[in-house]
Structure formats: structure tokens, C-alpha cells
Amino acid sequence: MSGTITLPSLRYLTAADRSRVEEISRAVGVFHADEIPVALEVFDGAVAGSPDYLALGAEHAGRLAGWICWGPTPCTLGTYDLYWMAVDPAHQGSGLGTALVAAMERSLPGVARLVVVETAGRADYAATRAFYEARGYRAVSRIPDFYAPGDDQVVYVKYL
């Protein structure tokens, strides 16, 4: 089999990316309407230079196609949270999400010992949970009805 693999172009996000970040976050179809402003608040903090958040974007053909935001977990020593990640549905399965997570992890040696991801236990999050598991994240807790009745919180961790 021959062919070339095109790696995504990764870059730090800027305020100019806000509308596209919002568009991508809505398009994935799993975030509730009241979650989008929270994602944008974290995005705004990252692009404003807050030490609490870092955000990267992945481009495909010169257009933002995915984003990730992470930062140190308050009141911990060497624990980081992966706060938000979303890849345009048209590009899911293309390696953009993997590239974003790998770039985050590459930025953390010597700084972080543990990455925590909190996600939903709903059926529509099954692919999200499988994504993290395939990248070495391990489910360590499940809190029933955390987000809403029937919507558990599933916490994943990965030691670096």
C-alpha cells in the first residue's frame, strides 16, 4: 500500500478563533447548550494568557478543525485537567484528536505527573470514552447521576 499521511498543522489558538471554536463545539452534538459558554470562557482565558489554561488548535487544509484546552488542576501538585476537546465531525477519525492529545502530553513532561479527563457516561459519549481508552487513559471512577439523572460522570486518568 502506498500513499502519504498528512499530519495536521497544530498551533496555539487566538481570539480570532473564537467563533470557529464555538462552531466546532456545537457541531459535535454532545455538549448541552449551557456547556458551550463554559467552553468559551475557558477558551477566552487561554487566549488571554491565563496561566490556568493552554489551548491548541488543529488545522486541516488551512481551517481550524479541532481544539483542545488543558491546565493545572488547582490545589494539586503535578495534576493537569484536560478541560475541553472537540473535533469537527467531518474530521473525526482522521487523527486530529490523537494529534491534539499527543501535543498536550508532549508539553507536560517535567510539569505534570497525571492528566485527568472528566466526561459523561451517557450513551452518546461512548465514542468519546473509547477514544480516551485507546490512548491509554483509564477510567478510575464513575459518579452516578452526576450531571443529571441518568448522566454519570466518568473520570479518566493517565500517568505521564
Query: Could you list the residue range(s) of the whole structural domain that residue 97 is in?
Result: 9-113
Identify whether 128 is part of a domain.
Answer: no
Burial 89-124 (b: 16+ CB within 10 A, else e): eebbebbbbbbbbeebbeebeeebebbbbebbbbee
Split into its structural domains, the chain has a count of 1
pLDDT digits (tens, 9 = 90+) for 69-124: 999 999 999 999 999 999 999 999 999 999 999 999 999 999 999 999 999 999 99
* pLDDT of 2 above 70: no
Starting at the edge strand found earlier in the chain, the sheet holding 151-159 runs 9-12, 54-60, 63-72, 79-87, 114-120, 151-159, 138-148
Confidence band for 8, pLDDT divided at 50, 70 and 90: confident
Residue 36 lies in a domain: yes
pTM: 0.93
Q: What cell was used for 137?
A: 487513559
Mind listing the pLDDT tens digit for each residue in 82-91? 999 999 999 9
Residue 7 confidence class, pLDDT cut points 50, 70, 90: low
Give residue 6's pLDDT.
61
Cα angle: 121, vertex 141, 66; to 5 degrees: 55
Residue 30 belongs to some domain of the structure? yes
- Is the residue at 160 inside a domain? no
Look at residue 143 and tell me if it is in a domain: no
Q: Is residue 26 part of a domain?
A: yes
